[in-house]
Chain A
Amino acid sequence: MKFIIKRLAYSVFVLVGLSILMFAIARVVPGDPARMALGPRAPEWAVQRLRDEMHLEDPIYVQYYHWVKGAVHGDFGRSLVTRRSVASDIKEFFPASLELALYSGFFMGLMGIALGAVSGWYKNRWIDNAVRILSYIGIITPSFVFAIFFVLIFGHALQILPTIGRIPSSLTPPPRITGMITFDALVTGNLFLCLVGLKHLLLPAISLAMGPLSQEARITRTTMASNLDKDYVAAERSSGLAERTIMFKYLLKPSLIPTISIYALDFAAIIGNAFVVELIFNWPGLSRYGMNAMLQKDLNALVAVVMVYGILFMVVNIIVDLVVGLLDPRIRLGEKSSE
């Protein structure tokens, strides 16, 4: 418990620091943000009004104060390009990105651990070699290259999977509950729509997951393979336990700790690469929104998007810490004895 509170307090500190950093980056831009937002031909009074609205003429710490005051009330200012409230933009676009990231993260964890475990168990057999070659390919290929290959192969050559958007425009999206299409469709009982949504998710989610998945598989394999030689496994074998029990109950669990420890980092890779992959699949998510904000120097939107992903990353980090604590009795017990 103490551990969780400490972890949360620390996260708040990092978030505040991150907001200062992002704010500083967004404000040191050469040129006048108001002028850039409105274009060179906008009348001076309009530019002046935007400057006042953004408090651009105050010293930077006053600007930051205004920004924080808004941010704690859920108001990130107005997008300089779409002229809408950034907060409502985020509400609209974030679920799509979250859905993609969750599926991708789930797929990555599952496949990474499965492949790594199989490869470690059958060390130096053909299946191990196949997995290792596959994971090399995963590590060296940028996610946008996977995305393009998948679009070419499944979208154009075989034409079996959709490559654009979340659902075909001919279908009405399910009523908005969380904004995640597969989830909403399932809750409202529309199984067909859920399947269509899943089909659209498949390619982007896999192209995002391939790289991190290979990392996970590689690390799981290394730990599995080294644990396989340990005495306790030999002891279990000699006491006649079934191979299956040894593998799942005694070998996999301790071997997962390093894999899960780097899970947060791999999830970070998914979030980062989503900025590129969402562009390719025309995925109407927050990353694409953020990417457009970046290309058009929409500073309010940019800061807000980075903050949202900072928070998401932080949540994943905390979950990972908790899971590692649960898996590793040393950490769990050590914590108890210190209390």
Chain B
Amino acid sequence: MEKDLYRQRELSRIKEDIQRNVYKFTRNPLSIVGLSLVCMIIFIATFAPYISPHPQSAGKYVNFYETCKPPSLAHPFGTDRFGRDVLTRTLYGYRYSLGMAAMVISIMGPIGIVLGLIAGYYRNSWVDTVIMRATDIFIAVPPLLLALAVCSVLTPSIFNAMLAICVAWWPWYARMLYEITCSLKNEFFVQAAELTGASTFHILFREIIPNCLAPILTKMSLDVGWVILIGSALSFVGLGAQPPTPDLGTLVADASSYLPELWWEAVFPAFAIMLVVLAFNLFGDGIDDMLGEEKGG
């Protein structure tokens, strides 16, 4: 009976939490716009083969009757020089951009987080020195330049581009986590856990990590946009996804050699990049509104 009561109270607390977070998130109408855009783009990416008007245009496909057509009803974004529908290729482009962002953040996030966590926890020991000096070295080069350099020694492909972005991006997570951990380390709840003899693993992942979730989630949602920007730049210079893969950056790059005649081939994918980055930025700001204040109280 008492257990039931306890569970009920717990449930209502969770419900209240959710309601409060929803309220905080929805207070800013821009966050809602961001959320709906994100949902829309994920939907497009998932169902690209079903909703795009000419699915065969996504890969190697040539249709000489339809080459270089300006935007029309049949081809709202026009067609490229192989007669492929640009709208279709743009919709497919979201698949690669989102996939890339998801992969990069799910690989590199944890690596950077764990390294920063360990360095922060063993502050002023040799572990801290090794990890943090290593991040300093990685941060000494502009991230896009480092990603380009790593990419260039590997064979250009979308997978290697992800790898390169990971190499350039993990130090920023490590540094953020390092700072948070350093300040959390002296909090009473960590000291209490240490005194009761909790294992280091428990302290790191059960005590400290849950308390840095807010900044991590905020950074991750904002970083989706950044990864897409960097990934499209890599593809643009030819070190990322290779044609005929319809990555958004590749699409713009492909078209840029045929300006200004085939302007529609470059302009629409460029707008598509801007739209997805905007969506994740607005969404990230919303997450920030929602979780940001919880740090203080």
Contact = CB atoms under 8 A, between A and B. Distances in A.
Interface of A: 13-15, 17-18, 21-22, 25-26, 28-29, 136-137, 139-145, 148-149, 151-152, 156-157, 268-269, 271-273, 275-276, 279-280, 291, 293-295, 297, 299, 302, 306, 309-310, 313-314
B260 to A, nearest CB: 4
Given A280-B256, A294-B148, A302-B152, 16 more contacts: A17-B134, A25-B153, A140-B274, A141-B274, A145-B274, A148-B252, A149-B270, A268-B142, A269-B144, A271-B142, A273-B144, A275-B148, A291-B237, A295-B237, A313-B142, A314-B140
Nearest to A137: B274
Given A140-B278, A152-B259, A17 B137 contact: yes
Interface residues of B, number: 40
B144 A151 contact: no
A141 B228 CA distance: 11
A268 B225 CA distance: 18
Nearest to B270: A145
A294 B147 CA distance: 11
Given A22-B149, A144-B236, A275 B270 contact: no
Nearest to A157: B260
Contacts of A271: 142, 145
Interface string B172-183: 000000000000
B133 interface: yes
Contacts of B142: 268-269, 271-272, 309, 313
Contacts of A139: 277, 281
Interface string B55-83: 00000000000000000000000000000
A290 to B, nearest CB: 8
A137 B275 CA distance: 10
State the majority secondary structure of interface residues on A: helix
A142 B259 contact: no
Nearest to A309: B145
A108 to B, nearest CB: 14
B149 A302 contact: yes
B77 to A, nearest CB: 16
Contacts of A157: 260
B138 interface: yes
Nearest to A156: B260
Contacts of A149: 267, 270
11 contacts: A18-B137, A137-B274, A140-B278, A141-B277, A145-B270, A152-B259, A152-B263, A268-B142, A294-B151, A297-B152, A306-B146
Contact of A152 (B260, B278, B281): B260
A313 B153 contact: no
B90 to A, nearest CB: 14
B238 interface: yes
